[in-house]
Amino acid sequence: MANRFANNSYVVGFDPINEPFPADIGKDTSLMEAGVFDSKLLAPLYEKVHEKYIAANPQSINYFETGQYPDAYLGVVNPAGFDVPPGGEINSANHVLNDHSYCCQLGDGICDSGEPDTTRADDCQKWHELRIKTRAEDAKRL
């Protein structure tokens, strides 16, 4: 994929996994701790993928995400479990910390109809602000 798209002027960057979620948590219960999935499984995977991107084009940009659970769940947003951008260094020009924020992540009952309840708009706004603040802090650290 990197070789195919690395020099395509319409490709801004690569996002190897959309909304990663820890699998087989029964085998490794530590993955249920905030940040552990990020550091233990995602970072090494992202590093391998990043090597391929950079080999194909040294200017490639790697969009990487935290695990969707338990990093953000039931109104809590935990710091990302990455110490550095995967395969990079602090302030890497080749990395973007990507985050998806959905009001439904706030908790039970928010999206019973499939969409956020409009009467909870203020709660949703606070949730998004918390996610932005936490991920902005992560981005400064990375």
Q: Is the distance from CB of 56 to CB of 26 less than 8 angstroms?
A: no
List the catalytic residue out of 19, 33, 129, 137. 19
Q: Is the distance from CB of 116 to CB of 110 less than 8 angstroms?
A: yes
Alpha-carbon distance of 116 to 47, in angstroms, equals: 36
Q: What is the pLDDT of residue 68?
A: 84
Domain ranges of the chain: 2-141
Place 142 in a pLDDT band, splitting at 50, 70 and 90: confident
**How many CB atoms within 10 Å of residue 83?**
13
What does pLDDT average to over the chain?
Answer: 90
Residue 40 phi, psi (nearest 5): -80, -40
As a residue count, the chain comes to 142
**How many CB atoms within 10 Å of residue 112?**
10
Residue 114 pLDDT greater than 90, yes or no: no
Q: What is the pLDDT of residue 15?
A: 92
Residue 108 pLDDT greater than 90, yes or no: no
Q: What angle do CA 93, 99, 105 make, to 5 degrees?
A: 170
Domain 2-141: CATH superfamily is Glycosidases (3.20.20.80)
Q: What is the pLDDT of residue 51?
A: 95
Q: What is the pLDDT of residue 109?
A: 84
Return the beta strands (E) in the chain as ranges. 62-65, 72-73, 76-77, 95-98
Residue range 110-126: mean pLDDT, rounded: 89
- 41-96 per-position pLDDT tens digit: 999 999 999 999 999 999 999 999 999 888 877 788 889 999 999 999 999 999 99
Active site residue 51: no
Q: What is the pLDDT of residue 80?
A: 92
